[in-house]
């Protein structure tokens, strides 16, 4: 049985029935899933032994009420790789990467899509619509296809080309927009209003974050309930960081982390699009929209986040920090990770490594700290990020 018990507004706390089909609260804020945390104290860590090796092993703390509604492609339970060689070079004794690139559709967006589409099935929704920087579209289109749910997806024309193909091949209606993800959002909002599609934009429905929070449960379980000191998160809309923090709070509430310290959350953005970093540094509770967002790390090219106040709250509560890195640093970091560790990460993941190096230089992080970098997607989804001049040999050439 799932302990999912109600929906509540993240700002004004108004509550809603579990089976009400909702987008935002009347106050304009995201609605989140709530659980019967007292009842959930019966759920024990030991219950996880021998369960399916995917995110549904935590189903008591997920919002799907009937098991038959679960739509899965095998998402979650991705490995945490020790980065010994790179760690040594940086002077860090405990450096790790959780490789979310191994998820179906090549990014951690699969987690959110699995939860979101499962709930859409449960609620009888037949058409969904969303703006995307690329990966979310690919994921939601794929999961929706499994249950014959029609998807309508708008993405910036300069989103990674593979992600448009991913949506199209799964039968979605895909629109390439001359503009950024915020422009796509306006187009989708208008289309949804007109045609009655259910909008599944970031934080405009309550369940994507529930899928993404499983990263928090997994990090704790895989590290044997001993949290890392820092978790680095390349932040766009911020769902993952809000989700991981929600998971930590839930695990505390059900007695899974007693006596443990909390990990410090690090928000990483690109210098060309850093609204949350700016707000953090200025001590603000919400972020101003970022004019003319630019970075090759498409997943974090998000000029305005609906959940800005939740991201900023999570970082501050955790005692973490926020910083931005440059495009060259991102590229160099992607290359460095592959060269030193054979781990081909996405540019967003590269931003994490660049940020780590900065915090080491500044003395914020020291060599005993246990650091976990979330590689949010597979490097092979971004063939356009790096290019190499390679020698071309004719058949008769010999080395």
Residues that bind ligand PLP (CB under 6 A): 107, 109, 133, 135-136, 202, 234-240, 299-300, 346, 348, 376-377
- Going from the C-alpha of 107 to that of each of 111, 253, 257, 271, the distances in angstroms are 9, 29, 28, 23
Say how far apart CA 351 and CA 367 lie, in whole Å. 20
Q: Are 54 and 77 in contact (CB under 8 A)?
A: yes
Least Å from the CB of residue 196 to ligand PLP: 26
Which of Zn ion, ligand PLP, none does residue 310 bind to, with CB < 5 to 8 Å depending on kind?
none
When CB distances to ligand PLP are compared, the closest residue is 299
Q: Are 239 and 271 in contact (CB under 8 A)?
A: no
# chain residues binding Zn ion, by CB under 5 A:
7
Per CB under 5 A, contacts with Zn ion among 64-123 are none
CA 141, 144, 150, 155: dihedral to nearest 10 degrees?
-20
Instruction: Select 40 or 101, whichever has its Cβ closest to ligand PLP.
Output: 101
- Confirm or reject binding of residue 25 to Zn ion (CB under 5 A): yes
Instruction: Select 306 or 371, whichever has its Cβ closest to ligand PLP.
Output: 306
Neighbouring CB atoms inside 10 A of 320's CB total: 21
- Confirm or reject binding of residue 12 to Zn ion (CB under 5 A): yes
Q: CA angle, corner 321, sides to 315 and 322, nearest 5?
A: 95
Which of ligand PLP, Zn ion, none does residue 9 bind to, with CB < 5 to 8 Å depending on kind?
Zn ion
Instruction: Select 25 or 257, whichever has its Cβ closest to Zn ion.
Output: 25
Say how far apart CA 257 and CA 5 lie, in whole Å. 22
Instruction: Select 83 or 136, whichever has its Cβ closest to ligand PLP.
Output: 136
Instruction: Select 95 or 239, whichever has its Cβ closest to ligand PLP.
Output: 239
Which of ligand PLP, Zn ion, none does residue 101 bind to, with CB < 5 to 8 Å depending on kind?
none
Which of ligand PLP, Zn ion, none does residue 12 bind to, with CB < 5 to 8 Å depending on kind?
Zn ion
The candidate with the shortest Cα–Cα distance to 388, out of 348, 334, 326, 325, is 334
The candidate with the shortest Cα–Cα distance to 211, out of 111, 78, 125, is 111
Instruction: Select 98 or 109, whichever has its Cβ closest to ligand PLP.
Output: 109
Residues at the site binding Zn ion, with contacts judged by CB under 5 A: 9, 11-12, 14, 25, 27, 29
């Amino acid at each position: 049985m799932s302990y999912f018990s109600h929906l509540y507004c993240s700002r004004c706390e108004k509550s809603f029935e579990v089976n009400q089909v909702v987008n935002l609260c009347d106050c304009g804020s995201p609605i989140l899933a709530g659980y019967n945390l007292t009842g959930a104290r019966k759920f024990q860590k030991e219950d996880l032994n021998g369960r399916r090796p995917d995110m549904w092993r935590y189903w008591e703390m997920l919002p799907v009420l009937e098991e038959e509604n679960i739509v899965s492609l095998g998402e979650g339970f991705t490995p945490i790789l020790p980065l010994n060689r790179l760690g040594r070079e940086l002077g860090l004794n405990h450096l790790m990467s959780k490789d979310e690139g191994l998820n179906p559709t090549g990014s951690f967006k699969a987690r959110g899509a699995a939860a979101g589409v499962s709930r859409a099935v449960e609620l009888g929704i037949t058409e969904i619509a969303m703006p995307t920087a690329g990966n979310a579209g690919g994921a939601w289109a794929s999961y929706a296809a499994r249950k014959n749910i029609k998807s309508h997806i708008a993405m910036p024309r300069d989103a990674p080309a593979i992600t448009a193909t991913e949506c199209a091949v799964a039968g979605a209606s895909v629109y390439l927009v001359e503009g950024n993800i915020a422009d796509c959002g306006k187009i989708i909002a208008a289309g949804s209003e007109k045609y009655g599609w259910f909008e599944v934009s970031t934080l405009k429905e309550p369940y994507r974050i529930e899928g993404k929070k499983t990263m928090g449960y997994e990090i704790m379980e895989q590290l044997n309930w001993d949290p890392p000191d820092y978790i680095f998160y390349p932040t766009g809309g911020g769902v993952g960081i809000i989700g991981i923090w929600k998971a930590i709070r839930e695990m505390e509430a059900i007695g899974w982390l007693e006596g443990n310290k909390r990990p410090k959350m690090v928000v990483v953005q690109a210098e060309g699009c850093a609204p949350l970093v700016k707000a953090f540094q200025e001590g603000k509770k919400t972020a101003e929209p970022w004019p003319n967002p630019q970075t090759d790390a498409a997943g974090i090219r998000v000029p305005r986040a609906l959940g800005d106040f939740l991201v900023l709250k999570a970082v501050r509560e955790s005692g973490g920090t926020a910083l931005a890195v440059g495009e060259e640093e991102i590229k160099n970091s992607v290359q460095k990770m592959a060269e030193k560790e054979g781990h081909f990460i996405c540019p967003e993941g590269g931003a994490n490594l660049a940020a780590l190096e900065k915090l080491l230089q500044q003395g914020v992080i020291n060599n005993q700290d246990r650091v976990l970098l979330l590689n949010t997607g597979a490097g092979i989804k971004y063939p356009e990020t790096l290019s190499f001049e390679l020698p071309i040999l004719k058949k008769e050439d010999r080395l």
